[in-house]
Amino acid sequence: MHTLNRTQDFEYITFPSLQGYGGLFHCFTTRKGGVSSEEFASMNLGMGTGDDVENVEKNYEIMSKRLGIRLKDIVETDQTHTNNVRYVTDKDKGRAMKDPDYNDVDGLYTDIRNIALMTFHADCTPLFFYDTVKNAIGMAHAGWRGTLQNIAGKMIDAMVKDLGCNPKDMKAVIGPSLGQCCFEVDEDVAAMFLSYDSSYSELMVKKGEKFHFDLWEINKRLMVKHGMDENSIEVSGLCTKCNRELFFSHRGQKGKRGLMCGIIMLK
C-alpha cells in the first residue's frame, strides 16, 4: 500500500517497494499544494499545458523546496509516446525542452548520484526502476503506446547492457495512472494489442463497443518477460481518473489538465 505524504499543503506519494533504501529518493506528485487554479489546480508541473508559466515556475519552486530537490539537478523527459530510453549524466541537467538534440525521450536511466529523473503524467503510466545492487535507477512514461511498444522491457535491457544491472536485483513500481476501469479503446487499438501478444486477451474486457485493457498487468508481464521477479514489481493500483481530487486526469478532464511527475534520484 502506497503512502500519501504531506508537507504543508504539498502532497506526494511514495511506494513501499522503494522505501527504506538510504541512497534512494522517489515520489509521485499529486495535484495538491501548488498555486495554479481551475483545471490546473493546483500543483501543475507541466509547461505547455495552457497554464500561466509563472504559476508553473512557482510550482517548481514549491516542489523543489518541499522535496529537498535542487531544480538544477533535474533531468526531464521530452515525451512523445515513444519507447526511447536514454542514459543521462550531469551534462544533461537542464537540457530537456531547450536542446533540439533532446527530442523523443520517454525514459531516462542513470547510475550517477544527484540527478533527479523526471517524467510527466496525467493518466499515462509511470514506471520506476531501481537496481538495489548496482545502485542504478530508471524512470519511464508508459502511455498505451509506450506500453504497447514495450518501453518497460527496453528500459530493463538498456540498464542491463549499459550498467551491468541484473533484472533479478531490480525493483519496479507501476504508479498512478488509468486502471482497467477507465482505460477504454476502440476495436482498432484493441487489435494492435492483441496482435502484439495474443495472451493480452486475458487482460481485456469488452464493455459495449469499448475494450478495456489492464495496462498495469501488461507492464508487469513485460517486466517479468525481461527477467524481473514478479514479487519485485509493485502495482500501485491507483487510478488517476477515479481519484480526481488527488490526481490530474487527461481523460477525466477532457484534455484540459495539469501534469504530475514521477521522480527518482540516487542521493
Residue numbers at the binding site for Zn ion (CB under 5 A): 179, 181-182, 239, 241-242
Q: Which residues pair with 253 in a beta bridge?
A: none
For residue 218, the minimal CB distance to Zn ion (Å) is 16
Residue placing its CB nearer to Zn ion in the complex, 153 or 179:
179
For residue 181, the minimal CB distance to Zn ion (Å) is 3
Residue placing its CB nearer to Zn ion in the complex, 4 or 181:
181
For residue 242, the minimal CB distance to Zn ion (Å) is 3
* Cell output for 29: 506528485
Residue placing its CB nearer to Zn ion in the complex, 158 or 239:
239
For residue 253, the minimal CB distance to Zn ion (Å) is 14
d(CA 202, CA 79): 29
Judged by DSSP in three states, 125 sits in strand
H-helix or E-strand spanning residue 140: strand 136-142
Residue placing its CB nearer to Zn ion in the complex, 167 or 179:
179
Residue placing its CB nearer to Zn ion in the complex, 181 or 191:
181
Residue placing its CB nearer to Zn ion in the complex, 60 or 211:
211
User: What's the number of CA atoms in the CB half-sphere (13 Å) around residue 248?
Assistant: 32
Q: What is the dihedral of CA 235, 154, 24, 166, to 10 degrees?
A: 100
d(CA 205, CA 250): 22
d(CA 28, CA 21): 17
Residue placing its CB nearer to Zn ion in the complex, 182 or 194:
182
Residue placing its CB nearer to Zn ion in the complex, 34 or 179:
179
For residue 243, the minimal CB distance to Zn ion (Å) is 8
* Cell output for 187: 476495436
d(CA 267, CA 27): 13
For residue 184, the minimal CB distance to Zn ion (Å) is 10
If you count them, how many residues does the chain have?
A: 267
Helix H, strand E, coil C: the string for 205-256 is EEECCEEEECHHHHHHHHHHHCCCCHHHEEECCCECCCCCCCCCCCCCCCCC
For residue 131, the minimal CB distance to Zn ion (Å) is 31
Question: Phi/psi at 200 (nearest 5 deg)?
Answer: -65, -15
Cβ-based neighbours of 163, under 8 Å, separated by 6 or more: 87, 109, 111, 131, 134, 136
For residue 136, the minimal CB distance to Zn ion (Å) is 32
d(CA 214, CA 102): 31
